[in-house]
Structure 1
Amino acid sequence: MLRRWLPWRFLVKRAARAHGIVDPLAILARLRRFTQPSEVQEPIELLRAGIVFHARGLINTKAIQHNLDWVWPYWVERQFNPDDPSFIPRAFSFTHVNLTHRNWTAAGHPDLPLYPLVDPRGLVTPLHDGWSIDLWLLSSKGGLLLPSKLEEVSQKLVFSPNLAVKTDSSANGMKISTNVTLETSDEAPYAKINASCHCAEGGWLVVSIRPYNPEGVQFIEKIFCDEDSRRLIVNGKTPVEFDRIPEKTIFSDYDSGDVVNQLGYSDSKGVTCNVGMVTAAALFPFQKGEKGSLEIRVPLKEDLPEKTFVRTTAAYRTSPESWK
């Protein structure tokens, strides 16, 4: 009833004219003249998806463009680099979105509607449209291996004993290997990352929590260490679990910049950020001549419909057989 009585068209036109903006109703009318008569006009699903897509693009514009000294996902490192074939000029772009490297891979399970993602450089996004986990290598001499900045890595699907995405990144005598799978337990399914690294002079395997995914920025407002220091709690609810205690953990908010520039700082226990751009790093040492290794788990229960896991837990526990 309210929709009928209020002069919506007049109000929209008046507001647009007052701000010097083209009349959106006139634009829509022009667009419809290109189409054939139909019972429906613009599908609301496409409009909704487009709004979400470009809303994130607006956030990317503010977050990425002014902070190119951060470590960003692979698509940003390529698409924002004028020397790269994937470069897209941005001067007149209203939003900045991933248009060039939309080829991430899901590590899934036939019986579960869960899809932890792995991007072309091994960045892992455990939860749907969530934040990500990146793995770096810091040598004892100060060298830093950042997979998202490498020209080439090796990545492949492994099908035995379970589906896994395996990524090998190497440069300057340093190497990181990750194996990402979706596993199950009696409590909940979880994304598992088995990581290994090697560097002749020794160093640290760095696990970094990143406020983005292959689509762009995804806010992290706070991260804290759990009491036993073997877990990082992201946004107060999602744990990132390690199989051992890190030597130190470092946290940074937006004003302090990316944690990649603070790896030499002293140990801290957490941080909050009202911008939503918290970054964190947990450092795990390995000795000269040794191979470092680490297992990381992220429970995925919050992404799963409540009754799904309870109803068919027994089926999930035979994971390899489900692929046959």
Structure 2
Amino acid sequence: MDINTVTRILTEKLTTWGKDLIRLLPNIVIAAVILVIGFYIAKFVRRLALKLIGKVSHNATLNNLFASVIYFVFIGITLFTVLSILNLDKAVTSILAGAGILGLALAFAFQDIAANFMSGIFISFRKPIKVGDIVLIKGFMGKVAEVNLRDTVINTFTGPVVIIPNKDVFQNPIENFTTLSKRRFDLQIGVSYGDDLDKVKQVTLDAVKDIEDISKTQETTLFFTSFGDSSINLAIRMWIDSAELKIYKKVGSEAIMRIKKAYEENDIMIPYPIRTLDFGMKGGQTLSDMAVTLAGKDQDGESNYQSNS
């Protein structure tokens, strides 16, 4: 192949490319204009979406995420439109197919992360918990420190910081003690069978009525619950105008101290557990009868021994 042939082939190729470029020049101009306009529209839509979502959700991370998703959706639509104008339909089809396969692979590989992420989105919108709430989730009780898109951070009252995946938070019962801003303290007590129950009830209620943090709007109630082995059992229920654990424990401690002191002053007995020992093979024989029987057997044995000797 001589130089003339090479020159002719290159000339024909460049001429063909030049004709194609001239033919596509209007499409290229239109595509460039659409690309620029698309980017501006995407930015405008992102700001508008951020403003609208901010009225529904106050989670800045979640709001930025949704706004970014909407922004990239518009960018994607703009790019696919530009490629279609440039008659690059095959490239568009290949990109879509590759994106579908990649998305399917990522869905299988990161399904737990995706589950936690979606749960975080639902938690952000439903707001069953928020930062500062006192909650009990999966056996962990403490104050909510952070509510992220992937996990929830709880500062427990015993010291450790617990990070719970949002999937577990969303799929399990949540006990939120802060929602009502009050808690109920239940105290179980047992009194002697010989005590006057009307007196017990009045003395118990009078003992706790002046505790500082007990609610003045919720009635303190007392119910006798059962006949125990050695006591008549009762339960007193007191409402506390705070969800804080320190105040809850303080009220319980104060109630126990006051009730014990009141019972001592009014001769009300909190009985110890009583056990009855049965020394008979078939039951019904008392300890004194058993002692007499054993003493008689010992005397008979000693007399028989003396007579034999």
TM-score normalised to structure 2 length: 0.25
Higher helix proportion (structure 1 or 2): 2
In terms of Rg, which structure is larger? 2
TM-score of the two chains, using structure 1 as the length reference: 0.24
